Structure 1
Amino acid sequence: MINPEPLDKLRKFFGAEGESFVREVVTRYLQGVEGMLTDLERFLQQQDTVQFARVAHTLKGNSASVGAEEVSSLAAELEMMGRNGDLSGAPEKILLLRNAFSIAKNELEQMLRGKAP
């Protein structure tokens, strides 16, 4: 479930270039998330809590900027796990994150095709 507010704010801020800018932001977001998810899994396997938290933090912010609130929220939880040095619950949370991203990706792709999510 995408919250349209962050993208609507970007559209307004950039005026005539707003729609083009939003499309670029969304496209870059969609292209980058798979790599971040792979990085999270790799850092989990390595038990590298510092890098795990860093990637989760980036994913949290990027997701919030496109209105992917569920993805952002789960990434925030993963970030805290990394910061606290306890990744014991991370595998299940990453699975939830992948599912939430799948839903968000579908909605954002619909938006890019000109259909309201």
Structure 2
Amino acid sequence: MSHERPSITPSMESSSRIINRQAALTRLGGSEQLFNDMVGFFREDAPQLSEAARQAVTDQDDAETRRTAHSLKGLAANIEASEVVRLAQQLEDLGRTGQLDEAPAVLHALNRAVADVMTACERSE
């Protein structure tokens, strides 16, 4: 079994802009296993959290919007998925301040970013 890293292909370069693997590995003490675990947690939990955030925004539930956005932000931060972190922070802030009128647009962008990360995770397998 070869331990050489594959050459970077355009799809992998695209994925690296979505997930900063090197920064995540640094954050996780260089542990590939821990990084892979964090990617697995993201893939498992992000779809449910995205749906919970959508429902919270639909219900105009400030606290649940804030909670689900915060959880999604944490999952994304573990793998250095910066666009998801940024948008989840915006949604969390809207929940905290009770300004959910702006939340649907942020949620839409957040869902696209989550989908991009999910695709990047699949490509990196």
Structure 1 and Structure 2 fold alike (TM over 0.5) = yes
Per-residue displacement from partner, 1:18-52 (whole Å, max 9, x unpaired)?
A: 22222121111111001001111111121110111
Residue 19 of structure 2 is matched in structure 1 by: 2
Give the letter for the 1:8 counterpart.
L
Give the letter for the 1:109 counterpart.
E
Larger Rg: 2
Q: 1:8: Cα distance to partner?
A: 1.5
Quote the sequence identity (%).
Answer: 28
Q: Unaligned 5+ residue runs, structure 1? A: 13-17
Provide the rounded CA distance (Å) in 1 between the counterparts of 2:122 and 2:24: 14
TM-score normalised by structure 1 residue count: 0.84
Per-residue displacement from partner, 1:48-92 (whole Å, max 9, x unpaired)?
A: 101110111111121111111001100000000000001001111
Q: What SS does the corresponding residue of 1:88 show, helix, strand or coil?
A: helix
Residues 1:20 and 2:33 aligned together: yes
Q: What SS does the corresponding residue of 1:89 show, helix, strand or coil?
A: helix
TM-score normalised by structure 2 residue count: 0.79
Q: RMSD value over aligned CA atoms? A: 1.3
Q: Unaligned 5+ residue runs, structure 2? A: 1-17
Provide the rounded CA distance (Å) in 2 between the counterparts of 1:6 and 1:29: 16
Residue 35 of structure 1 is matched in structure 2 by: 48
